[in-house]
Structure 1
Amino acid sequence: MSAEALLQAARDRGLRIAVAESCTGGLLAGALTMPAGASTVFDRGFVTYSNAAKVDLLGVRIQTLTDHGAVSEEVAREMAEGALARSEAEIALSITGVAGPGASARKPEGRVCFGLATEDGVTAETVEFGALGRDAVRAASVEHALRLLRQAVERTP
């Protein structure tokens, strides 16, 4: 589903979307705001590249960052929860990961965590895209996020 089709599906259901991004640096928000009329669905985006931004703008707990690191499902959940709480949206999606280069043994290049928050709760998942290169990991992350948003919209009456 294209971003345009996703936006139309959300519009048809009266839903608004917010996003919180780290490794994609605003690419998801860019994809969602590319189609004309996006403002009727897209509420806002948070680019929280640093840990301080995650804490300040989204309310991610310092302890969560210390215990699990920025690239974790725990942080992805808190990012999504924070975006939902700090927006007018009914659906919030977060992305945090290692686009590369500069991976570690614990957090390999291409590991990306996604969080999804709605009034029904928060879920998170990790996708291992692999060492595709920075641009390809970021693009794959945006595509995956659009799929997750589509699924969330379709589950909402």
Structure 2
Amino acid sequence: MSAPTTPAAALDDVEEGVVLRPKFDAAGLVTCVTTDAQSGDVLMVAFMNDEALKKTIDSGEAWYFSRSRGRLWRKGESSGHVQRVLEIRVDCDQDAVWIKVEQGGGAACHTGRKSCFYRRVDRDAEGAPLLSPVDAERLFDPAKVYR
């Protein structure tokens, strides 16, 4: 069964209605925030087009649209670290999607880390922004996984 992604309607219908009406941007994409269903940690932020959203809903696995590659991709298709979707939410005006997943293999980031958000913005002694690693342990070696 295909997911009911239909064109946006009246504001009240979008904000309070029960029909999924994603508001894709000019490029046909919607932002997707992906979190670990158990811990609540943000794993990644990616984009979905209509097809990726439909495949995610229909398959129960996370699908995204890669802007750099210009194509659809299933999370884990190269690494084997598939994301099993437990819940999908949309924000108030349906221009962002939030999916809660079980992360296969423990790592969501292509760098081998649990999360793509493994650096915190701090300040150096002069007050300039500086990136500091947090939760930056590599769970796999990208050079061995992405050949």
TM value normalised by structure 2: 0.24
Bigger relative contact order (CA 8 A; separation at least 6): 1
**Greater strand share, structure number:** 2
Give the helix-richer structure, 1 or 2: 1
